[in-house]
Amino acid sequence: KAQLCQVGIQECRYLKSKISQLRRPTMGAAQMKGGPLYTETLINTCDRLEGNARITEKKLALSMIQQKVENLKISLEHFCNIKGDISEVLRVAEEQLKMRNQCRIINQQASLWELKDIVKRENKRDVILNYRNLLLQRIILNLSDMSTLFVSNSLMGTKIEKAFPNLKATVAFSFLFKAEENQRLSDLRSLQKKTMV
């Protein structure tokens, strides 16, 4: 709005100078108010004002779009944990989106599990769940300290590749199930979330 006001003030000054030139007594009768030169000057000035208003409007729209792009870039940098130019950030964000979509597909197809085995050893019990022969999930319960639960996931890579030939499924499974790490859970609600995947 400030830019529009500034442009308007400049145009007013310009118009005043043109009008004062038109009102000078040295000009002929044809150039006085109502004459063809006066009318032509007013038309040109109005056209210029409209053009400047459109340009200012487009500049403001461009500025708003650039600000939105910058805000989106900052959000994606924070979400994807990367820094760089906008094309690199978008590329990584698209890769993560594809990965999440693959994980969603895998999650839908692998969400059913069956109890494979319960292993007893001293004060611990290992509960092994089988997710369609694609993933084995081992839940370790410490009977002396029920507040301590551990979950580990083992992928069956060749079966995963056969079941999902069109995807980078092993990577997606590893990402979705956090197969490379043992996870410590603090309560049964967390365990329920892990087994529902």
Q: Where are the domains of the chain?
A: 2-80, 110-196
How would residue 52 be classed by pLDDT, with cut points 50, 70 and 90?
confident
Residue 79: pLDDT above 80?
no
Angle between helices 36-80 and 2-22 (to 10 degrees): 170
pTM passes above 0.75: no
The 10s digit of each residue's pLDDT in 140-162 is 887 777 667 888 888 888 888 88
pLDDT at position 127 over 50: yes
Residue 150's nearest CA partner among 121, 183, 102 is 183
pLDDT of residue 146: 65
- Cα 12 from Cα 45, distance rounded (Å): 10
User: Mind giving me the DSSP string for 138-164?
Assistant: EEEEETT-TT-EEEEEEE-HHHHHHH-
Q: What is the pLDDT of residue 29?
A: 44
Percent of the chain with pLDDT over 90: 0
Band (27; pLDDT cuts 50, 70, 90):
very low
Check if the beta carbon of residue 187 is closer than 8 Å to that of residue 151: no
pLDDT confidence band for 196 (50 / 70 / 90)? low
With b for 16 or more beta-carbon neighbours within 10 A and e for fewer, the 142-181 pattern comes to eeeeeeebebbbebbeeebeebbeebebbebbbbbbebee
Whether 37 shows a pLDDT value over 60: the answer reads: no
Is residue 111 very low, low, confident or very high in pLDDT (cuts 50, 70, 90)?
low
